[in-house]
Amino acid sequence: MTTDSRKFAKTQDEVKTYLGKKREETMEIDGTVIRAFCECIGDPNPMWKDTAPPGLVTTAMISSGAMLIGVPLLYKRSVAGGADWEFFKPIKKGDVIHTTHEFSALEEKSSDKGPRLLMVYKSSHKNQKGEVVAISTNTIMNF
């Protein structure tokens, strides 16, 4: 059985009221996190011992918590449209990463294929020294 726990809005204006809403989370990067990531993708590079590979930022626990902001959808179907990641500093073993997710933009992209909304989430990742280590942008297509 499948359940649908998603929230829906009645109008685009209702979705708009969520613009600027934020959510914070914290994650400790230990050796186990780095090792589990490297084993999973099959990256044996010896550089990833005390430094995390930049790909670690692509994981859901670091850059997709934005979905938990709880922005309602307007249309039934949604897929991840794209993402980008900017890497400013390496993440080191022992770092504590504080992430601020924000529902940052809403774009109407309706065409002859039907109505479509692009929902953009921006996540900024800082280490325990307050340095921005990476910024993630995720775009969800709702149609």
Partner 1 sequence: MAQVYFDDVQEGQDIPTLEKTPSRRTLVMWAGASGDFFELHYDKEFAQSLGNPDVLVHGRLEAAYLTQLLTDWVGEKGTVKKVSVQYRGNAFPGQKLLMKGKVTKKYQKDGENLVELEIFVENPEGKKITPGSAIVALPKK
Nearer to partner 1, 16 or 92 (CB): 92
Asked if 60 and 83 touch (Cβ cutoff 8 Å), the reply is: no
Least distance CB 69 / partner 1 (angstroms):
16
Contact residues for partner 1, defined by CB under 8 A: 2, 33, 36-37, 39-43, 45, 47, 53-55, 58-61, 64, 79-87, 90
Q: How far apart are CA 104 and CA 83, in angstroms?
A: 14
In terms of CB distance, is 20 or 86 closer to partner 1? 86
Exposure string of 33-70, with b = 16+ CB inside 10 Å and e = fewer, is bbeebbeeeeeeeeebeebbbeebbbeeebbbbbeeee
Nearest residue to 99 via CA among 50, 136, 48: 136
∠ CA(135), CA(129), CA(98), 5° rounding?
Answer: 45
- How far is residue 98's CA from residue 86's CA, in Å, rounded to a whole number? 16
Please, what is the minimum distance in Å from the beta carbon of residue 13 to partner 1?
28
Judged by beta carbon, residue 11 or residue 45, the one nearer partner 1 is 45
Minimum CB–partner distance for residue 126 and partner 1 (Å): 18
Least distance CB 35 / partner 1 (angstroms):
9
- Closest to partner 1 by CB, 9 vs 118, is 118
